[in-house]
Structure 1
Amino acid sequence: MTTMRKTTWLKTTSLRPALAGAALAGAALAALLLPAAPALANAGAAAAAAPIRDGEKSPLVSTEWLEKNIDSPKLRIVEVSVDPGVYERGHIPGAHNVAWHTDLVETVSRDIAGPEKFAALARRLGIDRDTTVVLYGDNNNWFAAWGAWVFAQYGLVDTVKLLDGGRKKWEAEKRPLDTRTPEVAASRFPVTPASTSLRARFSDVLAVARKERDERILDIRSPDEFSGKIIAPSGVPELAVRAGHIPGSVNVPWAKAVNADGTLKPVEELRKLYAEAGIDGSKPVITSCRIGERSSHSWFVLSRVLGYPARNYDGSWTEYGNAVGVPVVNLAGTVWGGK
């Protein structure tokens, strides 16, 4: 998927000397897609006109709530940004810096951070299981949502929130920034295996593509990527040899879920948006994109805000589009043909 710095394996970006070898400017990547921000909510919140934004009832918190509660001893604020030096230039007071391409992944095996690595990170950040964690970042919270997905696999679900509107909204409202790195006492977060229930694998999506499993695949890339007109957005390395999409998948670009300021749209609008594509929560959903980061944003919206059963396929098109002998739909008739 287009963007930001993923681990050495995913794609390169200016912030990381990346594996594929090209360094992409985070700002340029942000411009490749639409603006966006993620959210989360339980079934009760889903019935409301808009997601609840506070520290207890929702996975979303507002900028007002965060500034009011910024000194809470049981709160940890974590920035997961992509643009080089953005954290160092100024961040939300008390925020810790987490690099998604090193802290949240295993850089050699192209995997999420393993149990030992994640526990070490949580301990360094002073996070216990009852700590409220607010994640935010630049570029519409893409990798903050990725962080929420990784945290959720280690059991940190209801206590992990996203800042609605992310860094963009905080700065637009001229709220305070700081350049100091906070110091906290280390926690004793336990080493536990990652849950497998929130992550889809290649075999899962292939079973859906072959109609062996009754699930939905939501491809949240741009229409041109979905149709096969392009393999990757302009300026982003083409890490797949074919263009197109997984058979049976539907296309709802992630940015359709957000307002111009990056905040999440009202819940009923979200339900209608996805229902028009045949996704209404009645069947499990697998979200997919190019490298898994944009799709983690849509996973957050579907699973946390709308309460739908959803998993994220972080292998996404860079894995599926390179696989040998699998079915592909290419509506544009490019590269390997129209089927």
Structure 2
Amino acid sequence: MHGFRPDLARWRQLPSPAWLARLLDGVPVPAAPGGAWRLFEVGCDSLAAYQSGHIPGAGYIDTNRLERQPLWNKVSDDALLALLLENGVRHDTTVILYGRSSLAAARAAHLMLYAGVADVRLLDGGFDGWLRAGHALEQGAGPLPQAVASFGAAFPARPDFLIDTAQARELLRQPDGALVSIRTWQEHAGVTSGYSYIDARGDIPGARWGRAGNDGDVHSMSEYQHADGTMKPSAEISALWRQAGIEPGQRTAFYCGTGWRASLAFFYAWLMDWERISVYDGGWCEWSRVNPPASCSGSRP
């Protein structure tokens, strides 16, 4: 499987930079999009960086169009649908996403799956991987989006991929439920909130620690990614979850501070064909405002 990961059930959804370069060059590739496809760079307030150099043919989506203050939850369904339509995305459009931060791209990937886009792909290694491979960039505003009039299917098609605080609380009461904290140990233990705009420290009582990355860095997912930003072997990630009592057959909801790290954990679980998964959109940011904060007990595993 040239340019893909053989250890993933949904291997088509995590292409390599080499595969994308061949696709852009018009060279026949395995698992090529079957119809219309779009390539997007996803960032947060980084339009200037995108214009200074991006993967050829890529459009730009800002996460401020996907989530809103003060809790950084998903925008309304109407706003999400409008964003997809103006960028030419229907339910049957293949969408390939990358970012200077893989977390920003994962946030978009999760919400597109929630919307019902059937073929969402995340570039393994992201923008940095493209540069390391020596591929060219283009500068400027990028292609003008070709809007479409209709999504072509029910919207959202997968509302089960997103849960709110009431549903998170209910999940904690379910014998087969797992609410999974994708946060650093210091966040989970209540040493720090991790964010300048979140005052409360601690974590959700009953949540299972699914790990994230380096203490002091809410952009790190070093437990899930190699140093070059590519996904670690699925068996390694599965073992990490199993150690915390997180199994494929459970009803599993991932959360973090606001949603980016949880979205990457969700996407990797989806790649591994976990079926009963979601993101708790509010995360610690919302939970800590409506529930008493609590710290975990015990020492770091």
TM above 0.5: yes
Equivalent residue number for residue 96 of structure 1: 59
Q: 1:109 to 1:225 in 2, by over 3 A?
A: closer
Give the secondary-structure state (helix, strand or coil) at the position aligned to 1:231. Answer: coil
Runs of 4 or more consecutive aligned structure 1 residues displaced over 6 Å after TM superposition: none
Q: Does 1:148 align with 2:102?
A: no
Correspondent of 1:328 among 286, 294, 298: 294
Give the secondary-structure state (helix, strand or coil) at the position aligned to 1:119. Answer: helix
Which deviations, in whole Å up to 9, do the C-alpha atoms of 1:92-113 show, x marking residues without a partner?
0010111111x21355885423
Kept after mapping to 1: 8 A contact 2:88/2:148:
yes
Kept after mapping to 2: 8 A contact 1:62/1:163:
yes
Equivalent residue number for residue 270 of structure 1: 237
Which deviations, in whole Å up to 9, do the C-alpha atoms of 1:51-102 show, x marking residues without a partner?
378xxx521111011111126672211111236322111000010111111x
Unaligned runs of 5+ residues in structure 2 are 27-34, 213-220
Give the secondary-structure state (helix, strand or coil) at the position aligned to 1:290. Answer: coil
Give the whole-Å Cα distance in 1 for the aligned partners of 2:8 and 2:125: 13
Kept after mapping to 2: 8 A contact 1:218/1:288:
yes
Q: Does 1:166 align with 2:137?
A: no
Q: Does 1:237 align with 2:204?
A: no
Correspondent of 1:253 among 207, 211, 215: 211
Give the whole-Å Cα distance in 2 for the aligned partners of 1:52 and 1:302: 10
Q: 1:119 to 1:320 in 2, by over 3 A?
A: closer
Give the secondary-structure state (helix, strand or coil) at the position aligned to 1:311. Answer: strand
Give the secondary-structure state (helix, strand or coil) at the position aligned to 2:284. Answer: helix
Q: Does 1:51 align with 2:8?
A: yes
Give the secondary-structure state (helix, strand or coil) at the position aligned to 2:168. Answer: helix
Give the secondary-structure state (helix, strand or coil) at the position aligned to 2:290. Answer: coil
Give the secondary-structure state (helix, strand or coil) at the position aligned to 1:246. Answer: coil
Give the whole-Å Cα distance in 2 for the aligned partners of 1:107 and 1:213: 33
Aligned pair count reads 274
Letter in 2 for 1:74: A
Kept after mapping to 2: 8 A contact 1:303/1:309:
no
Correspondent of 2:22 among 47, 57, 68: 68
Equivalent residue number for residue 296 of structure 1: 263
What's the offset of the Cα at 1:327? Answer: 6.8
Kept after mapping to 2: 8 A contact 1:218/1:251:
yes
Equivalent residue number for residue 183 of structure 2: 221
What's the offset of the Cα at 1:280? Answer: 1.8
Equivalent residue number for residue 305 of structure 1: 272
Give the whole-Å Cα distance in 1 for the aligned partners of 2:88 and 2:122: 18
Give the secondary-structure state (helix, strand or coil) at the position aligned to 2:83. Answer: helix
Which deviations, in whole Å up to 9, do the C-alpha atoms of 1:128-171 show, x marking residues without a partner?
332211011012x10111101111111113x1100001111111
Kept after mapping to 2: 8 A contact 1:105/1:113:
yes
- Please report the TM-score for the alignment, with normalisation by the length of structure 2: 0.82
Correspondent of 1:79 among 38, 41, 58: 41
Moved more, 161-170 or 266-275: 266-275
Equivalent residue number for residue 7 of structure 1: none
Letter in 1 for 2:19: W
Kept after mapping to 1: 8 A contact 2:202/2:293:
no
Kept after mapping to 1: 8 A contact 2:96/2:122:
yes
Equivalent residue number for residue 15 of structure 1: none
Give the secondary-structure state (helix, strand or coil) at the position aligned to 2:136. Answer: coil
Kept after mapping to 2: 8 A contact 1:228/1:331:
no
Give the whole-Å Cα distance in 2 for the aligned partners of 1:308 and 1:155: 15
Give the whole-Å Cα distance in 2 for the aligned partners of 1:305 and 1:78: 23
What's the offset of the Cα at 1:201? Answer: 1.1
Give the whole-Å Cα distance in 1 for the aligned partners of 2:234 and 2:84: 31
CA RMSD of aligned residues (A): 2.6
Give the secondary-structure state (helix, strand or coil) at the position aligned to 1:61. Answer: coil
Give the secondary-structure state (helix, strand or coil) at the position aligned to 2:169. Answer: helix
Q: 1:94 to 1:258 in 2, by over 3 A?
A: same
Kept after mapping to 1: 8 A contact 2:84/2:90:
yes
Give the whole-Å Cα distance in 2 for the aligned partners of 1:86 and 1:171: 14
Kept after mapping to 2: 8 A contact 1:142/1:294:
yes
Give the whole-Å Cα distance in 2 for the aligned partners of 1:108 and 1:257: 28
Give the whole-Å Cα distance in 1 for the aligned partners of 2:257 and 2:20: 32
Equivalent residue number for residue 27 of structure 1: none
Letter in 1 for 2:12: S
